[in-house]
Chain A
Amino acid sequence: MLKYIVKKLFIMVITLWIIITLTFVLMVSVPGSPFNSETNSNEIVQENLEKHYNLDKPYHIQYLLYLKSIITLDFGPSIKQPNQTVNDLLGRGFPISFELGIVTIIVAVISGIILGILAALRHNGIIDYLAMGIAVLGISIPNFILATLLIQKLAVDWEIFPVATWSSPLHMVLPVLALATGPMAIIARLTRSTMLEVLTQDYIKMARAKGLTPWKIIVKHALRNALMPVITIMGTLLAGILTGSFVIEQIFAIPGMGKYFVESINHRDYPVIMGTTVFYSAFLIIMLFLVDIAYGLLDPRMKVNKKEGE
């Protein structure tokens, strides 16, 4: 197991390096500069700005400077917000995106699983159609439409929740709803299909024959196996949701880090592009790694196979 982890870690570092290098190459090959604002300017001012941010240096020097900044974990100041370092921006934004993400994931997983189970148990019944109807809507309605709709109805018309900003648990409700619906729908459909499959298995019949109560059968025997595919998609889902959603954060004026992914590229804010890319890729790689490990721990078949393999 230890050997496996060390090998994995090595591959993770190499992957990260490849991502960094590719990002750098893409970044410098895209035309534009961080100083193309709509305000007036002249050549001297532009030169001073480029010098200030080391953009006048040859590309290989810039590349080495970036590598250095990544190794020392100090990305320097943002070009768009020169008084803030990239570390400041991510350090402030990430906890907020993370908070929103965790709540969203919890809501999505629990409600998705419940919907999925209900649908599977009442297969082809009204509840099934209802649950799957909700799931199809959840997948097909983009979250920004849902967000706008929620704000208009629940905040402006009925005044139950605040419109936007991020200052109290009450402010969380609408963005969480908007963000959780999509993943919830995906999880519900996955759970339903695997549940249906599992419920026809012999060991379920066996459990039923033994006279176990229905909910014991579902929770202890069926659900545990039905959840495997859900865990598989959790890695990508977690990394995506926990690092913030640009659209939802923009609509609800949530000061998370989602916006930096998009805005840094629009502004050609090179240090922020590098910072967010490294952060996101590292996060995603670690999440996938954790899912790998969780898989081994949860699925007895995998464990057996591994032992045999070793």
Chain B
Amino acid sequence: MKRLLFFMAAVLSIFVLVACTANEDAGKDPDEKDKVEEPAGDDGESTDEGTSGEKVLKLNNATEPTSLDPSIGFDAVSWDPLNNLMEGLTRLDENHQAGPGVAEDWDISEDGKTYTFHLRENAKWSNGDPVVAEDFEFAWKYMLNPETASAAAFLGYFIEGAEAYNSGEGSADDVKVTAVDEKTLEVVLAQPTGFFLDVLTNPAFFPIHHKIAEENPNWHAEAETFVGNGPFKLESWEHNVEMVFSKNEHYWDAGVVKLDKVHFAMVNDTNTQYQMFESGDLDTASIPPELSDELIEDDNVFIGPYGGLEFYRFNTTIEPFQNKKIRQAFAYAVNREDIATYVVKNGVEPAYGFINPGYTSPTGSDFRDANGDLVTFDPEKAKQLLEEGMAEEGYDELPPITLTYNTSDTNKAVAEALQSMYQENLGIEVKLENQEWNVFSDAQKALELQFSRSSFINDYNDPVNFLESFITDSYMNRTGFSNPEYDELITKGKTETDEEKRWEYLYEAEKLLAEEMVAMPIRYYNTVVLEAEGVEGILRHPVGYFDLKFADKK
């Protein structure tokens, strides 16, 4: 027995040795070496933090950015880093309005079509070179080049000649973006566009150091070659592991930047990132859904609006939703307050209109307040509308209804809530069906789904962004809805030069959309973030991305 124990102990110690040497061996591998050494360096830094007083913010980007090429990275995981590494002509300010960025000021012609931007003399790239107008011309034409295959290119169509070039019919020379001189950029738009300055805050319109990009088209793939012009520069980038930003001393407004470093981890598991926050490895985190009830009331929770809407699309080409009253009945039978409070939770707001709060009109009021509640919870009205609609169509019995959603826990919960509300308020048996995102998305575009879940995330800070989806034959329409009056209102809502009038058209458009009820709003999105003590000044814009320019860690 003693010998056996000795044997076990020997095996165990051999195993421990083997395990350790396995690590060391791996460390000797040249590729692995950097990996092992770098974080060790980080540990060194974090101990320095206390002594040297370096301000280091530790954030989580969830995954590797799709791309740090501003024309290609068209999603949140690319926008958040890009918005802090680079800067466009305009930048969203503390009030979420487009303010001066690289452009110090600008002139807009009488007809609202020609914009002349004057670039700052002291706007510089992170390598010290000046940011010139040609960098913008280069970047925008690169984005619009059909061969670049930029997912963001459609945002550039406001510029004259852009759509033709991107669709392969026109040439780059016909795109009306011109570097007049080093510090002056002239842009001619296809139509007057009152919100063009807001559109420009999207990373798709960030400049590209044209000399570097011409030499090395892959300049954005690694930290060594990346050149930005934002408050931070990319110090290191270990793919799929971590990005480290450090303060960019060449930034024109470097004086206000308080943080020395920002670490972006890439942890894609909600529980893990929360546990890392708990143990101090992260300074901000999202709330795991199971802990929502417990944590949402805490003081360290930031809750803010996020530009987007969860809604359901009615397919007007499938019975019974060709009938407006039946669509309205389905919309009025939904208790959005309950869905927001008890189903989705996390502090979200129920949506009684399509446009989320947070868009300030030219008269200073909020779009949502000005246009009021367009759809409410009213079971009596819903029942009556259903009866009327069925009579109009001559139905004795409503055709079977299938509600389809893309597979996710939250979507399922919302769908089930809707199912029971229709049962209770309209006496209708709705069948639920879930599909994997890609299958679902294809079917919805092909108008194969009768009644389906949808979401919309804003690209820029204007109500027209959402409303435009429902014009005839729009790629985003996906309902079969077509109404010339609506199309007309949207055209005016995009091109009217008198801002107050333009907003009037948008109010009308939203009302018409609610009257037609081809889409049924459920709730607005929001941003919920846990912030560690001492973290302040992170600017979280309702549309798009956060800004660390003014952030601080005490």
Using A32-B442, A51-B149, A52-B147 as known contacts, say yes or no to A250 and B221 having CB atoms under 8 A apart: no
CB of A107 within 8 A of CB of B166, answer: no
- Measured between beta carbons, the chain A residues less than 8 angstroms from B163 are 44
Q: Give the distance in Å from the alpha carbon of A49 to the alpha carbon of B69 in the complex.
A: 15
Cβ-defined partner of A81 (8 Å) among B22, B66, B268, B465: B66
Is the CB of B212 closer than 8 A to any CB of chain A? Answer: no
Please pick, from B19, B32, B459, B474, the residue contacting A107 in the complex, using a CB distance under 8 A: B19
Interface size on B, residues (CB 8 A): 77
Per-residue B-contact encoding for A139-180, CB less than 8 Å = 1, 0 else: 000000000100110011001001111111100100000000
Interface segment out of the listed A7-15, A16-24, A98-106, A197-205:
A98-106
B64 within 8 A of A: yes
B20 at the interface (CB under 8 A from A): yes
Contact: A167 with B439, CB < 8 Å? no
Contact partners of A110 in chain B: CB under 8 A: 11, 15
Query: Known: A42-B154, A110-B11, A151-B275. Is A253-B4 also a contact (CB below 8 A)?
Result: no
Q: Does chain B have a CB within 8 A of A266?
A: yes
A107 to B23, CA, bound (A): 13
Check if A39 sits within 8 Å of B221, measured CB to CB.
no
Determine how close the nearest CB of chain B comes to the CB of A2; give it in whole angstroms: 32
Are A106's CB and B19's CB within 8 A? yes
The B185-228 residues at the A interface (CB cut-off 8 A) are: 218, 220-221
The DSSP consensus for interface residues of chain A is helix
A31-B69 contact given A107-B19, A253-B272, CB 8 Å threshold:
no
Whether B276 contacts A163 by the Cβ 8 Å rule is yes
B499 within 8 A of A: no
Query: From residue 55 to 89 of chain A, which have CB atoms closer than 8 A to chain B?
Result: 80-84, 88
**Contacting pair B67 A82 (CB below 8 A):** yes
Cβ of B279 under 8 Å from chain A: yes
Selected from B20, B153, B437, the residue in CB contact (under 8 A) with A169 is B20
Cβ of A82 and Cβ of B72 under 8 Å apart?
Answer: yes
- Whether A168 and B39, one on each chain, are in contact in the complex, defined by CB atoms closer than 8 angstroms, is yes
A124 at interface, CB cutoff 8 A: no
Shortest Cβ distance from residue B529 to the other chain A in the assembled complex, whole angstroms: 18
In the complex, residue of chain A having the shortest beta-carbon distance to the beta carbon of B455: A38
Which residues from chain A contact B19 at a C-beta distance below 8 Å?
103, 106-107
Query: A residues within 8 A CB of B242?
Result: 165
The A-contacting residues of B in range 140-187, CB under 8 angstroms, are 146-151, 153-154, 163, 166-167
B526 at the interface (CB under 8 A from A): no
Q: Are A31 and B75 in contact, CB atoms less than 8 angstroms apart?
A: no
Could you say which of B146, B153, B268, B279 contacts A155, with CB atoms under 8 Å apart?
B279
Please determine whether A44 and B153 come into contact, CB atoms closer than 8 angstroms: yes
Cβ–Cβ contact A164 & B36, under 8 A: no
What 5 A-B pairs are tightest by C-beta distance, nearest first?
Answer: A32-B438, A167-B39, A52-B149, A255-B240, A36-B441
- Give 16 CB contacts A-B under 8 Å: A37-B74, A38-B457, A40-B476, A42-B476, A43-B475, A44-B154, A45-B149, A48-B166, A83-B69, A84-B239, A93-B240, A159-B279, A165-B267, A167-B36, A215-B7, A266-B437
Contacts A83-B221, A167-B42, A266-B438 aside, 20 further interface pairs with beta carbons under 8 A come to: A31-B438, A32-B436, A32-B441, A36-B442, A40-B154, A44-B167, A45-B149, A45-B154, A45-B166, A83-B68, A84-B221, A95-B26, A106-B15, A121-B4, A156-B279, A163-B272, A165-B265, A168-B39, A214-B3, A250-B268
Q: Chain A interface (Cβ within 8 Å of chain B)?
A: 30-33, 35-46, 48-49, 51-53, 80-84, 88, 92-93, 95-96, 99, 102-103, 106-107, 110-111, 114, 118, 121, 148, 151-152, 155-156, 159, 162-169, 172, 213-215, 219, 250-253, 255, 259, 266, 268
